[in-house]
A = this chain, B = another copy of it.
Amino acid sequence: MDVYHYICFHQGFLGGGTMLQESSVDSSGSRFAPLVVLELASDTKEEAIAWLLSRIRDWQQNGGAELLVEQLGPGIGVEEKENPNMFLVGASMQRLLCGAEDLGLFKECTDGSMRAFTFASKHNFKDFKGDGDGFLSMAECQYVIKHELDTLRAKEETNVPGYSHAKLYPGKSIIRRLLSKGILIQMFPLHENEELKRLSFSWYKKVKVSLQPLDDIRHYYGEGQALYFGFLEYFTFALVPMALIGVPYYLFDWEDYDKYVVFAVFNLIWCTVILELWKRRSASLAYYWGTLCRKKAFEEPRPGFHGVLGHNPVTGRAEPIYPTSKRHLRVYLVSLPFVLLCLYLSLYIMMIYFQMEGWALSIYDENPTFWTHILLFIPSIIYAVVIEAMNLIYRYAAEFLTEWENHRLESSYQNHLVLKVLVFNFFNCFASLFYIAFVMQDMELLRQSLATLLITSQILNQFMEAFLPYWLQRRRNKKMIRKIQKRRLYEEKELPLVEQVRLEADMSTYLGTFDDYLELFLLFGYVSLFSCVFPLAAVLVVLNNITEVYSDAFKMCRVFKRPFADPAANIGVWQLAFEAMSVIAVVTNCALIGMSPQVRSYFPESETQLILCTVAAEHVLLGFKFILTFLIQDVPKHIQDKLARLEFESLEALKKKKMLEASQLSKTVQ
């Protein structure tokens, strides 16, 4: 049995608001494992609660979600501050299986192929035993429940009972309206302590030389998370050859023309190859995780989306409509100028940094002591900190602006946000390096700045990302822990469910893989853009990635609430971002090689010829990169075959059905 004590509930749960005391076991009662927690505002009106619960519990035919829901009882040391309106949501196994079928979840069959789960053919699926207990992972069950809650729609209600300002119309998602009006504070899935302990042990606690347990991560956190960790691992291994080749360049100070060019060309091709091979690996992972060929459900508007009530042209449902032209105006007339202004500001601060740098250098030249030598490093460190701070502030501004642009879909919101943040972070982090490389043309300073920036930003990141939230979290929970220790005197083993839920409700919310990917993206930039002047970058990034795996794993397991699974089939827009970076890297590396004195010495008489050769080499490399992208297939052959086989079988089945019908028809005609 699970760590969660099964909670019983009344048979009469369909009737409406009958609530139970926690852990009371009714003799005739069925039991359910709580999967998801709904936290309503503590001052929510009773009638709204009763209405919501009845809608959640109602039969599907009546437009309900047909889920089990239960109020969380008070904690041990009942305090004033505790929110009484916490609800545990679960479902019967059959309901979960039907939900999985609705969602079109892909599971492995007994013959090893991946197929969309259907309740009728449940016994063809691997690991389906008895009534299906343990067939769906808890993350999948939670995803099913999230989907069912999200698609719980208003019927005839014009507003949430007791809240006349929380307007509803037929077809509006109830949960999204409650969220946007602040009545529903949060909805999150519960951790499984046993599972989590096992996962964290095999993931980061054990000193190991093995790979990450990707399948277990996927099992616990879902595909989006697992793909991120898979990418992190892949990226680290992919950089190892570059790191290995880079070390002798650094140690022996090889600066011959030939070796230099060979290293740079290897790097450029390697970057292209690893990005292409990642697509193949990602497709393999997604296939075996069942997300590669899953059909996406129709995307609902975001909770914050607003507009005049109209009709969606696709679903025909009532929905707010916001004209695209207005959104375009906001994007091009406000957001775009704002981003450009920020880029200008970033440029301005960069110039200040160079002035400080010059000033520190002049002080050191006047009076070269130990202290003034240290002063030399100060501007770089300050600049690195300022960059991080600017990135952080800009991030909030970007979120605000993207929210204000009023995108209908979450995916469109995410894309606009990623683009804004990406451009600024890229500019902010690399502008000074570009300036040093191409305006000052000081390779020694470039190498030094690159090292400073890389190391500072790594340390800052690791700190900001995992240890700061952890420390805040600990402080917040001190009280809870004290209370728990008191409890421990009586009962040694585990936290009771109530405490567990309240503990988790107070944990920080994990905001998705955005920041993690962004960090990898910038690291990739440090490695690829200037690889030929600082071959050690790959080594530093590999080292960073190894600690990153541990700190990310730690933060997922200990710092944050469990996130809902995200059935991603690939890393989405980040693939594009990394590819764009590798294109820019071709340009910068060619320019750097063209500027190196070794290459210049080959064209002593004419600079024009040097530049033309460099440009020609760049174009050839870009062309080669493009061809390589085409030649390497995105999906491995054996997966392509399996997908084709699935397609073929469904077509054949359809045909057979048709032929059967036709022959029956012809018989009746005869």
Contact = CB atoms under 8 A, between A and B. Distances in A.
Task: State how many copies of this chain the complex holds.
Answer: 2
A102 B658 contact: yes
Contact of A60 (B648, B651, B659): B659
Contact of A298 (B313, B647, B658): B647
A651 B298 contact: yes
Contacts of A61: 659, 663
A644 B608 contact: no
A645 B659 CA distance: 29
Interface stretch (A170-178, A498-506, A611-619): A611-619
A251 interface: no
A297 B651 contact: yes
Contact of A615 (B313, B615, B637, B647): B615
A314 interface: yes
A645 B607 contact: no
A641 B611 contact: no
A295 interface: yes
A525 to B, nearest CB: 17
A474 B324 CA distance: 59
Contacts of A295: 647, 651
Given A61-B663, A612-B611, A663-B61, A298 B619 contact: no
Interface in A473-519: none
Interface in A641-670: 641, 644-645, 647-648, 651, 655, 658-659, 661-663
B662 A60 contact: yes
A324 B59 CA distance: 55
Given A60-B662, A615-B615, A663-B61, A315 B648 contact: yes
Given A61-B663, A297-B651, A648-B314, A658 B101 contact: yes
Contact of A98 (B98, B102, B648, B658): B658
A314 B645 contact: yes
A587 interface: yes
A659 to B, nearest CB: 6
B102 A655 contact: yes
Nearest to A98: B662
Contacts of A313: 641, 645
Contact residues on A (Cβ < 8 Å of other chain), bracket: 35 or more
A314 B644 contact: yes
Contacts of A102: 655, 658
Contacts of A612: 611
Interface in A134-148: none
A528 B242 CA distance: 41
Counting chain B CB atoms within 10 Å of each CB, the highest count among A314, A619, A644 belongs to A314
Contacts of A314: 641, 644-645, 648
A525 B570 CA distance: 37
Interface string A40-64: 0000000000000000000111000
A658 B117 CA distance: 12
Interface string A588-609: 0000000000000000000110
Contacts of A661: 120
A644 B98 contact: no
Interface in A98-139: 98, 101-102, 119-120
25 contacts: A60-B659, A60-B662, A60-B663, A61-B659, A61-B663, A98-B658, A98-B662, A101-B658, A102-B655, A119-B662, A120-B661, A298-B651, A313-B641, A314-B641, A314-B644, A314-B648, A315-B645, A315-B648, A324-B637, A587-B619, A607-B607, A608-B611, A611-B611, A611-B612, A611-B615
Given A297-B651, A611-B611, 13 more contacts: A59-B663, A60-B659, A60-B663, A98-B662, A101-B658, A102-B655, A313-B645, A314-B641, A314-B644, A314-B648, A608-B608, A611-B615, A615-B615
Interface of A: 59-61, 98, 101-102, 119-120, 295, 297-298, 313-315, 324, 587, 607-608, 611-612, 615, 619, 637, 641, 644-645, 647-648, 651, 655, 658-659, 661-663
Q: Which 9 pairs across A and B sit closest by C-beta, in order of nearness?
A: A314-B644, A313-B641, A314-B645, A607-B608, A298-B648, A611-B611, A615-B615, A61-B663, A314-B648
